[in-house]
Amino acid sequence: MSDTDLAAIWRYLRTIDPIRNEVGPTHRPVGRTVGSFPAP
């Protein structure tokens, strides 16, 4: 992706509401459930 488009995404992400949600380690053994929100 171009630097311009990546910068656009970064700037958009700065505009959204902060949500507290600790997902835990992003690469982890199967079944180690972490996170505040259950799957819908």
Partner 1 sequence: MRVLRGIAIGAGAALAAVAVVVAMVEVAGRSSYADVALPDIAAATTPAAVERGAYLVNAVAHCPARHLPQPGATQFDPQRRPNLVGGHRWELAFGTVYSPNITSSVTAGIGAWSDGEIARVLRTGVRRDGSLSAFMVAGVGHLADNDIAAIIAYLRSQPAVNVAVPASRSNFLGRVVAAFFARPRLDESELATAPPTAATPERGGYLAHGPANCVGCHSPSGLRSAFRPAAPELAGGVPVPDVTDPAMEIVAPNLTPDPTTGVIYSWPEDVFVQRFRGGRVVAGSPMP
Q: How far apart are the first and last CA of the chain?
A: 30
| Number of residues this chain uses to bind partner 1 (CB under 8 A) | 38
The footprint of partner 1 on residues 5-34 (CB under 8 A) is 5-32, 34
Q: How far is the CB of 22 from partner 1 (least distance, A)?
A: 5
- Six-digit token string for 23: 């997902």
Q: How far is the CB of 9 from partner 1 (least distance, A)?
A: 4
Binding site for partner 1 (CB under 8 A): 1-32, 34-35, 37-40
